[in-house]
Amino acid sequence: RIMRPDDANVVGNVHGGTILKMIEEAGAIISTRHCNSEGGEPCVAALARVERTDFLSPMCIGEVANVSAEITYTSRHSVEVQVNVMSENILTGAKKVTNKATLWYVPLSLKNVNKVLEVPPIQYARKEQEDEGKKRYEEQKLDRLETKQRNGDVIFPVINPEPHTVGYSQSSLIHLVGPSDCTLLGFVHGGVTMKLMDEVAGIVAARHCKTNIVTASVDAINFHEKIKKGSVITISGRMTFTSNKSMEIEVFVDADPFVDEPRERYRAVSAFFTYVSLSKEGKPLPVPQLLTETEDEKRRFEEGKGRYLQTKAKRQAQMQQAAQP
Amino acid sequence: RIMRPDDANVVGNVHGGTILKMIEEAGAIISTRHCNSEGGEPCVAALARVERTDFLSPMCIGEVANVSAEITYTSRHSVEVQVNVMSENILTGAKKVTNKATLWYVPLSLKNVNKVLEVPPIQYARKEQEDEGKKRYEEQKLDRLETKQRNGDVIFPVINPEPHTVGYSQSSLIHLVGPSDCTLLGFVHGGVTMKLMDEVAGIVAARHCKTNIVTASVDAINFHEKIKKGSVITISGRMTFTSNKSMEIEVFVDADPFVDEPRERYRAVSAFFTYVSLSKEGKPLPVPQLLTETEDEKRRFEEGKGRYLQTKAKRQAQMQQAAQP
Amino acid sequence: RIMRPDDANVVGNVHGGTILKMIEEAGAIISTRHCNSEGGEPCVAALARVERTDFLSPMCIGEVANVSAEITYTSRHSVEVQVNVMSENILTGAKKVTNKATLWYVPLSLKNVNKVLEVPPIQYARKEQEDEGKKRYEEQKLDRLETKQRNGDVIFPVINPEPHTVGYSQSSLIHLVGPSDCTLLGFVHGGVTMKLMDEVAGIVAARHCKTNIVTASVDAINFHEKIKKGSVITISGRMTFTSNKSMEIEVFVDADPFVDEPRERYRAVSAFFTYVSLSKEGKPLPVPQLLTETEDEKRRFEEGKGRYLQTKAKRQAQMQQAAQP
């Protein structure tokens, strides 16, 4: 794919959300194909979860995205897909890894969207691959249960907020789900939702630091609830934590079926996005500290700090491991 | 919403049509939600009319549009929605009012598109609000009857027209109505139609004055007829009047169902758009006078002049009223 | 239509694929209208073939495309449409012919997509017009049979290819067919397919010569097989021939229905695109010669050379004919 000007922010990088959408489309194609490969009841693979994703280097307009996807594990009812994105400057031939993502899909019957089908098992080259996959499967299962309980929070508007407070940068947008947002089953593509979430998170980050910003990473996202065609979705974001050079933004997606179902508005997805602020030369800039006011804001700041330190420690451990002989 | 480069004209302002589309989407969401709020038969709110809308200041790429909507009146079968658009430069924090619009919607049954349902009444804070709303309702009802009778005109091509004549700048475009243009009912969103109308009006204005042009206002638009998915629509525009610094363009939308209905081509919508010509610094430029040739063109010029003077008088009255203690 | 920034490559010309898509939309509208003009069973005209198309001058952002279409011949089951595209700079008023295309459509019943309906005959001003049309009809019929037999080839990935070899520039992209890609019958618009083909061919050309490139011409394209909504399509391109200043790229489209049909992946379309390399001033640049390695590559190079020389001879004959008194 060639990146077009409409996928870019003002300075010229491609939005993280556009990359997430591409990744999800590749994952949906490969897992839908796999789940239909042995005949049986036709199905569409629906995104259940995306693992934490780091954006290693920005992608610019005019570069071609090379997306490759591989099925790395199958449980009875789910498929793990690894997607790698490389950016290639076709004029110079230079290539860079943009990011690597792990996604989980679940096959839903084309005739009955509430029926989860069985996944044909894959063959592993080595026994350890299956064991490691099983370990990842169990870990994500636990984590999904946890976020399901956390999902009750709501963002309220603030009148005349002070600069650098939570209320000052919080943002939301509303989107009416049209046919081009949806899969064959009539539900929103996970990638479409992630693109909108990144859009809101980017507005929050830009309002806070008033500079050019880019997505640095996205924490694991769980898709607990499907969103149907014709629904209205509200995507809201608020800043939860700032380090010296990064901002963490929590994003909620609430769906309101409101036309042909008697169902109340519900929380469909939530996630944490991390952004950094960049100078025109692409160097990271210091970020103004987030001013927390209420007890809840202070608690969320501390929780964000915990996630930040944990990620930092994990990355250092990986680097040390990589440096060992 | 962040404004993207594809929503902009060459100099960098956001097309009026894109803003009209956003306004209509907000209006459709709030009124569909209201009409379904008391259970009963599921319905979709269809746009019946947009009141005259002024574009107070242009919106530029990279700015965020803040759209807010409120239901201000309900009759038995219609909903009046007030939508306000603010543009916000997220890097400087500066905000400006872009425009305010009033839209009328009618709830149509999801099962039978020809059945108009009843609207749940809203509560008014003060009795005068209801009375003023009722007055606006009666006024627009009268005006709708009037335009219904005016709708017979057709635009013919002109061979080798002279510069600044009506035939010189008149333009049309054809669009095949696809699924992403349509509501859940399979009919074109009013906002999609308005965006195309603004596109044609903009081409007419640019052909006439050969400079950068922007939408200044749109007269009331009545949506008498629905347009079905799969139809071909022809949007035609011709200039009707020029003042020293503005151009009035009349736009017609004709729909041709031509596939699965035995119906003839019909006039679906018509409206007057006013454009101004801007220098690169954003200052209004003088507009070449429209050369009228036929009796019809002269009559339309005089009618346009009437509308122009009426609007001018109304605005002066409002300013005097606002200046009074 | 105004051309927007997202339809353009980096230097600012409008992609050939966008123009092909516009042409096809115009052809589909006029032929669908014609085939439904005498009542009878409702139908949608599906693209069967596009004749060779030359891009005579590039179209730039901000220009308006004037598209006109005319039915020039009808056989019992097919319609020939001639579409002309002019680009108009609305600020200067300058107009240029961009290209002229000939398309063949076949009316398919809206109720039964496998049923080809009869086409109402058109009236010819002169008897020779009918005879010439019949000759064109017979010629394209022969050519369609021929390409149907050629369609078996597959493109394999190459590890560590040398610059300017076939493997070095070959490219592919995958697209999930959504509702906005499809006609009322639920099959991909021919124009959508051509746009994606041009996108891949453009990537191949840019990878080979690492400069700004534009579409110069497209050989006749036959649409033997429909592609259904929900399919995954793989569009692959490889360079077959280079002259001093042009590159020929062969593009294949393979469709994989994979969800609700037990059908195998199949070749839906294939075509040859010719690209030229342009300097920033718009002058043609020399193109690096394609390095052929295998016997197949050498054979395809010679075949490409044959097509190139044939086209050149035909053009010279036309110019001499035009120069005669």
**Span C258-278, average pLDDT:** 85
Domain count, chain B: 2
Cβ of B180 under 8 Å from any chain A Cβ?
A: yes
Q: Which of B35-49, B290-304, C225-239 reaches the highest mean pLDDT? A: B290-304
Do residues B28 and B215 make contact, with C-beta atoms less than 8 angstroms apart? no
Supply the pLDDT for residue B152: 64
H/E element, C89:
strand C79-89
Among residues C257, C237, C260, the alpha carbon closest in space to that of C249 is found at C237
Do C42 and C132 have their domain in common? Answer: yes
Beta bridge partners of B232: B176, B256
Supply the pLDDT for residue C10: 47
- Give the DSSP letter string of B181-215: GB-TTSBB-HHHHHHHHHHHHHHHHHHHH-SEEEE
Asked if pLDDT for residue B215 goes beyond 70, the answer is yes
Q: How many CB atoms lie within 10 A of CB A153?
A: 13
Asked if pLDDT for residue B143 goes beyond 50, the answer is yes
Share of chain C above pLDDT 70, in %: 92
Phi-psi region of B33 (alpha: psi -120 to 50; beta: other; left: phi over 0): alpha
Q: Inter-chain contact C258–A36, Cβ cutoff 8 Å? A: yes
Catalytic residue, from B181, B198, B219, B254: name it.
Answer: B198
Lowest mean pLDDT among C2-11, C15-24, C182-191, C277-286: C2-11
Do B195 and B298 have their domain in common? Answer: yes
Q: For the domain that residue B73 is a member of, what is the CATH number?
A: 3.10.129.10
Supply the pLDDT for residue C91: 74
Do C223 and C93 have their domain in common? Answer: no
Asked if pLDDT for residue B14 goes beyond 80, the answer is no
Q: Is C54 exposed, middle or buried (0-12, 13-18, 19+ CB in 10 A)?
A: middle
How far is the CA of A60 from the CAs of A14, A15, B194, in angstroms?
5, 9, 33
> Which of residues C290 and C110 earns the better pLDDT score?
C290
How many Å apart are CA C92 and CA B201, to the nearest integer? Answer: 18
Q: Inter-chain contact C259–A92, Cβ cutoff 8 Å? A: no
Asked if pLDDT for residue B250 goes beyond 80, the answer is yes
Supply the pLDDT for residue B15: 83
What residue in B sits closest to C107 (Cα-Cα)?
Answer: B259
How many Å apart are CA C258 and CA A34, to the nearest integer? Answer: 9
Do A310 and A170 have their domain in common? Answer: yes
Do residues A301 and A240 make contact, with C-beta atoms less than 8 angstroms apart? yes
Supply the pLDDT for residue A210: 86
Asked if pLDDT for residue A66 goes beyond 90, the answer is no
How many Å apart are CA A186 and CA A165, to the nearest integer? Answer: 39
Strand arrangement of the beta sheet that strand B232-242 belongs to = B53-54, B212-218, B266-278, B247-256, B232-242, B171-176
Flag whether A155 is in a domain.
no
Asked if pLDDT for residue C3 goes beyond 60, the answer is no
Flag whether B261 is in a domain.
yes
Flag whether B69 is in a domain.
yes
Neighbors of chain C by Cβ distance (3+ pairs < 8 Å): A, B
B6: pLDDT confidence band, cut at 50, 70 and 90?
A: low
A260: pLDDT confidence band, cut at 50, 70 and 90?
A: low
Do B124 and B198 have their domain in common? Answer: no
How many Å apart are CA A10 and CA A120, to the nearest integer? Answer: 45
Supply the pLDDT for residue B107: 95
pLDDT tens profile A194-252: 999 998 999 899 889 988 889 999 999 999 889 998 888 889 999 999 999 999 999 99
Do A134 and A192 have their domain in common? Answer: no
Work out whether strand B53-54 and strand B212-218 pair parallel, antiparallel, or are unpaired.
antiparallel
Among residues C61, C66, C28, the alpha carbon closest in space to that of C47 is found at C28
> Which of residues B315 and B4 earns the better pLDDT score?
B315
> Which of residues A41 and A157 earns the better pLDDT score?
A41
pLDDT tens profile C182-218: 888 889 999 999 999 998 999 899 889 988 889 999 9
Last residue of a domain, one of C146, C176, C209: C146
Asked if pLDDT for residue A28 goes beyond 80, the answer is yes
Do residues A171 and A157 make contact, with C-beta atoms less than 8 angstroms apart? no
Cβ of A210 under 8 Å from any chain B Cβ?
A: yes
Locus of tokens 């005498």? C38
Burial A245-268 (b: 16+ CB within 10 A, else e): ebbbbbbbbbbbbbbbeeeeeebb
**Span B214-227, average pLDDT:** 92
> Which of residues C211 and B51 earns the better pLDDT score?
B51
Task: Look over chain B and give the mean of its residue pLDDT values, rounded to a whole number.
Answer: 87
What residue in B sits closest to C34 (Cα-Cα)?
Answer: B258
Please tell me whether the interface predicted TM-score (ipTM) of this complex is above 0.85: no
> Which of residues B147 and A168 earns the better pLDDT score?
A168
Do C121 and C171 have their domain in common? Answer: no
Q: How many CB atoms lie within 10 A of CB B129?
A: 14
Q: How many CB atoms lie within 10 A of CB C85?
A: 24
**Span A129-140, average pLDDT:** 95
Do A128 and A208 have their domain in common? Answer: no
Last residue of a domain, one of A89, A113, A146: A146
Supply the pLDDT for residue A287: 96
Cβ of B162 under 8 Å from any chain C Cβ?
A: no
Gap from C176 CA to chain A (nearest CA, Å):
7
Gap from A247 CA to chain C (nearest CA, Å):
30
A253: containing domain: 166-323
Among residues C38, C22, C133, the alpha carbon closest in space to that of C78 is found at C133
B198 is catalytic: yes
Do C309 and C196 have their domain in common? Answer: yes
Catalytic residue, from C7, C99, C181, C198: name it.
Answer: C198
Chain A residues touching C179 at Cβ < 8 A: 179-180, 182
Residue C81 Cα to chain centre, angstroms: 14
Cβ of B323 under 8 Å from any chain C Cβ?
A: no
How many Å apart are CA C105 and CA C83, to the nearest integer? Answer: 13
H/E element, A249:
strand A247-256
Supply the pLDDT for residue A152: 64
Flag whether B65 is in a domain.
yes
Q: Inter-chain contact A260–B42, Cβ cutoff 8 Å? A: yes
A325: pLDDT confidence band, cut at 50, 70 and 90?
A: low
**Span A143-153, average pLDDT:** 73
Last residue of a domain, one of B82, B116, B146: B146
Supply the pLDDT for residue C216: 94
Token readout for C52 is 């060779």
Q: Inter-chain contact A259–B42, Cβ cutoff 8 Å? A: yes
Flag whether B155 is in a domain.
no
Do residues A251 and A270 make contact, with C-beta atoms less than 8 angstroms apart? yes
Q: Inter-chain contact C2–B199, Cβ cutoff 8 Å? A: yes
Asked if pLDDT for residue A291 goes beyond 80, the answer is yes
How many Å apart are CA C147 and CA C145, to the nearest integer? Answer: 6
Binding-face residues of C in 293-322 toward A, CB within 8 A: none
CA dihedral B49, B55, B59, B64 (to 10 degrees): -50
How many Å apart are CA A85 and CA A100, to the nearest integer? Answer: 6
Do A259 and A316 have their domain in common? Answer: yes
Cβ of A95 under 8 Å from any chain C Cβ?
A: no
Asked if pLDDT for residue C116 goes beyond 90, the answer is yes
Strand arrangement of the beta sheet that strand C232-242 belongs to = C53-54, C212-218, C266-278, C247-256, C232-242, C171-176
Strand stretches in C94-139, DSSP E: 95-109
Flag whether C155 is in a domain.
no
Asked if pLDDT for residue A142 goes beyond 80, the answer is yes
Supply the pLDDT for residue A12: 56
Task: List the alpha helices (DSSP H) in C46-188.
Answer: 127-150, 166-169
Task: Look over chain C and give the mean of its residue pLDDT values, rounded to a whole number.
Answer: 87
Do residues A249 and A272 make contact, with C-beta atoms less than 8 angstroms apart? yes
Supply the pLDDT for residue A254: 92
C198 is catalytic: yes
Among B5, B25, B180, select the one facing A6 at the smallest CB separation: B5
pLDDT tens profile B170-210: 988 888 888 888 888 889 999 999 999 998 999 899 889 98
Flag whether A115 is in a domain.
yes
How many Å apart are CA A117 and CA A112, to the nearest integer? Answer: 10
Flag whether A126 is in a domain.
yes
Chain A residues touching B62 at Cβ < 8 A: 9-10
Locus of tokens 């259970």? B39
Do B130 and B213 have their domain in common? Answer: no
Do C132 and C264 have their domain in common? Answer: no
Work out whether strand A63-74 and strand A79-89 pair parallel, antiparallel, or are unpaired.
antiparallel
Share of chain A above pLDDT 90, in %: 53
